[in-house]
């Protein structure tokens, strides 16, 4: 199996050539364009780590489903989905268009930037530090990695340059979709995006969801219902305006990030973590998507 997986990684590594690493967040441009890592952790305990699995990178948008879980634990499903929708947009991950033009002005889903900022605003705590610390503790728990930390350079770079995200936060506050402090919401959002992970961490988070919200010691952290919400939003919205095609080509609930990460969940079977920093024109890891397509067809992993 290991040799077979190595073959898939090497076959797909060259596909990075036609992608580009993100450079709109200062620091991300330093990523190695040709890196490709695949980590698979199965519910039966098997672990495969192939290629660049130990390189740290910032989690970016892969954080969004994790924050959504804590927001639902904090407030319940009904309140969370009164602030953010459940529908795909067909627009880019950072688009402001539907926020402005649709009559409710409600962010469409928690996987795009607007919806994720509204979700981050829901994390409970007496101040921004406490809110983020609670969220970081939650990331550490479900990834079963107590050492996760924020990359402060990337955080600072994004908080200085993330003007479009700030604009959307102010807009949503004006429309009543953010109740508390805008500064706190942006602090939590920019810091969650800057948490450093490896492909192995993403595989373990995927495994947590593959078990329906249960850790390897058997502890249930979120309900089956919350795990179902997260997996559903990952398949419908997790790859943004590439979600439909990805559902057909790969058919595995997945969430991408501009740092190069993809976290995938094969329900009941395995969590998959990918590191692939060269992105396609939708901001999704280009070699990573092709690798997952091969893996899915070779091992019959599509849920459809």
Distance CA 185, CA 24 (A): 21
Q: Of these, 60, 143, 198, 254, which contacts ligand DON (CB under 6 A)?
A: 60
Q: Of these, 12, 49, 95, 165, which contacts ligand DON (CB under 6 A)?
A: 165
| Contact region with ligand DON (CB under 6 A), list: 38-46, 80-88, 223-231, 250-258 | 250-258
CA angle 132, 188, 287 (to 5 degrees): 110
Residues 68-97 that bind ligand DON (CB under 6 A): 93-94
Site string for ligand DON, 99-138 (x = CB under 6 A): --------------x-------------------------
* Alpha helices for the chain (secondary structure H): 2-13, 64-75, 77-83, 97-101, 113-120, 128-143, 152-161, 163-174, 182-193, 199-210, 224-237, 243-249, 286-299
281 appears as a binding residue in the annotation: no
CB closer to ligand DON, 43 vs 236 = 236
| Contact region with ligand DON (CB under 6 A), list: 124-132, 241-249, 255-263, 296-304 | 255-263
| Residue 276 bears catalytic tag | no
158 forms part of the interface with ligand DON (CB under 6 A): yes
Residue located via tokens 């489903």:
65
Catalytic residue among 31, 49, 61, 264: 61
| Residue 255 bears catalytic tag | no
CA 24 to chain centre: 18
Residue located via tokens 């910032």:
58
| Residue 258 bears catalytic tag | yes
Distance CA 234, CA 247 (A): 10
Distance CA 238, CA 131 (A): 24
Catalytic residue among 258, 265, 266, 274: 258
165 appears as a binding residue in the annotation: yes
Residues 273-292 that bind ligand DON (CB under 6 A): 283-284
CB closer to ligand DON, 198 vs 284 = 284
Contact 48, 4 (CB under 8 A): no
| Residue 170 bears catalytic tag | no
Instruction: Tell me the closest approach of the beta carbon of residue 111 to ligand DON, in angstroms.
Output: 9
Measuring CA to CA, which residue among 60, 61, 67, 72 is closest to residue 131? Answer: 67
254 forms part of the interface with ligand DON (CB under 6 A): no
189 appears as a binding residue in the annotation: yes
Other beta carbons within 10 Å of 44:
7
Name the residues that contact ligand DON, by CB under 6 A. Answer: 60-61, 93-94, 113, 158, 165, 193, 256-258, 283-284
């Amino acid at each position: 199996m290991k040799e077979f997986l190595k073959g898939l990684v090497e076959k797909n590594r060259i596909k990075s050539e036609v992608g580009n690493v993100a450079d709109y967040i200062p620091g991300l441009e330093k990523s190695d364009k040709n890196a490709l890592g695949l980590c698979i952790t199965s519910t039966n305990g098997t672990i495969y780590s192939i290629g660049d699995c130990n390189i740290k990178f910032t989690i970016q948008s892969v954080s969004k489903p994790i924050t959504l879980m804590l927001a639902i634990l904090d407030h319940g499903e009904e309140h969370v989905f009164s602030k953010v929708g459940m529908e795909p947009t067909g627009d880019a991950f950072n688009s402001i268009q539907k926020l402005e033009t649709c009559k409710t002005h409600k962010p469409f889903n928690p996987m795009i930037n607007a919806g994720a900022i509204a979700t981050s605003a829901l994390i409970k705590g007496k101040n921004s530090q406490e809110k983020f610390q609670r969220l970081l503790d939650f990331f550490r728990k479900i990834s079963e990695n107590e050492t996760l930390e924020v990359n402060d350079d990337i955080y600072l770079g994004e908080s200085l340059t993330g003007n479009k995200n700030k604009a959307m936060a102010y807009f949503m506050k004006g429309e009543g979709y953010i109740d508390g402090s805008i500064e706190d919401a942006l602090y939590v959002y920019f810091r969650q995006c800057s948490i450093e992970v490896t492909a192995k961490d993403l595989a373990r988070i995927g495994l947590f969801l593959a078990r329906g919200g249960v850790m390897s010691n058997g502890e249930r952290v979120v309900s089956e219902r919350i795990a179902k919400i997260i997996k559903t939003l990952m398949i419908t919205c997790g790859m943004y305006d590439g979600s439909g095609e990805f559902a057909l080509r790969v058919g595995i609930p997945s969430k991408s990030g501009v740092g190069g990460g993809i976290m995938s969940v094969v329900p009941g079977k395995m969590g998959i973590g990918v590191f692939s920093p060269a992105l396609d024109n939708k901001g999704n890891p280009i070699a990573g998507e092709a690798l997952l397509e091969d893996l899915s067809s070779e091992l019959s992993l599509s849920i459809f």
